[in-house]
Amino acid sequence: MAFGDEIRSAASPATNPFGIGGDSSKIWNLDYGTEQVYELKTSDLSVSRSATSPGDKPSGIGGDSSKIWHCDGGTNDKVYELKTSDLSVSRSASCPSTDPTGIGGDSSKIWHCDSDPKVYELKTSDLSMSRSAASPGIVPEGIGGDSAVIWHCDRIGDIYELKTSDLSVSRSATPPAGSPYGIGGDSSVIWHCDDASNKNYELDADPPGWTGKIAGVTNPAKIMGVAVADIASVKGVASA
């Protein structure tokens, strides 16, 4: 498996999945056509609960186990914090520009994108813009991640990992279907949705494994008593 490879998929709750995010223990999802936001089960990607979205053009959703970030491209062009308890609105603010398309992050970071086309970091304190950069593609649709990583997708382009330092591209991969609309997750998992296949996916985050260095020591003979030649036997560490 490599970055962006499909691990599993399931039919989306409705036919216009435009946003998805969450973390290893939560999945937040939305559908543009039904104007619904959902919590999905991580076990099988089925619906756990749902609620009506606060706006009439829901376009992005993400967050983690304790926060839900949401955006809507209706007449008000707003970003929201939703309550995890009942999916209702906790607070809202105007988007940094028009036509918001994606949002995600965690309790301490908010990542956002729109059709300008730009990607943003928003402040968790008041949902205003902290910084921005040009998106790598011309039709940015989804963004998410956490404090350490940014996942991003373009509807006619690729799936990306962006650098948290300057919002530039770290790596990219081909999406599993033809119309990638939403992406999110955390450093260990990627949740993704596609409007052409009407599916939700788990993709491989491919976290870095053995780098060849420990505290400035290059290519040691053993790590924690395990021979480097047998490093694949250490849980969570990939072999070269």
Residue 64 lies in a domain: yes
Residue 112 sits in the same domain as residue 171: yes
Q: Which whole-number Å values give the CA distances from 174 to 62, 101, 191, in the listed order? A: 22, 20, 15
Q: Distance (Å, rounded) from C-alpha 19 to C-alpha 15?
A: 12
DSSP secondary structure letter of residue 58: E
Task: Identify the pLDDT of residue 76.
Answer: 83
The CATH number that applies at residue 179 is 2.120.10.30
Residue 225 sits in the same domain as residue 185: no
Contacts of 74 (CB under 8 A, 6+ apart): 55, 56, 57
Span 24-80, pLDDT tens digits: 999 999 999 999 999 999 999 999 999 999 999 999 999 999 999 999 998 789 999
Taking the model in full, what pTM does it have? Answer: 0.87
Domain that includes residue 234, residue range: 210-240
Residue 11 sits in the same domain as residue 72: yes
Residue 142 sits in the same domain as residue 227: no
Residue 215 sits in the same domain as residue 202: no
- φ and ψ at 227, to 5 degrees? -60, 140
What stretches in the chain show pLDDT beneath 50?
210, 228, 232-235, 237-240
User: Across the beta sheet with 199-203, what order do the strands follow?
Assistant: 6-11, 199-203, 189-194, 180-186
Residue 163 lies in a domain: yes
Total domains present in the chain: 2
- φ and ψ at 188, to 5 degrees? -110, -10
Residue 1 lies in a domain: no
Task: Identify the pLDDT of residue 235.
Answer: 47
Task: Identify the pLDDT of residue 202.
Answer: 98
Cis, peptide link before residue 140, omega less than 30° from 0: no
Residue 189 sits in the same domain as residue 155: yes
Residue 200 sits in the same domain as residue 217: no
Residue 180 lies in a domain: yes
Structure tokens, 215: 């505290």
Residue 56 sits in the same domain as residue 162: yes
Residue 117 sits in the same domain as residue 231: no
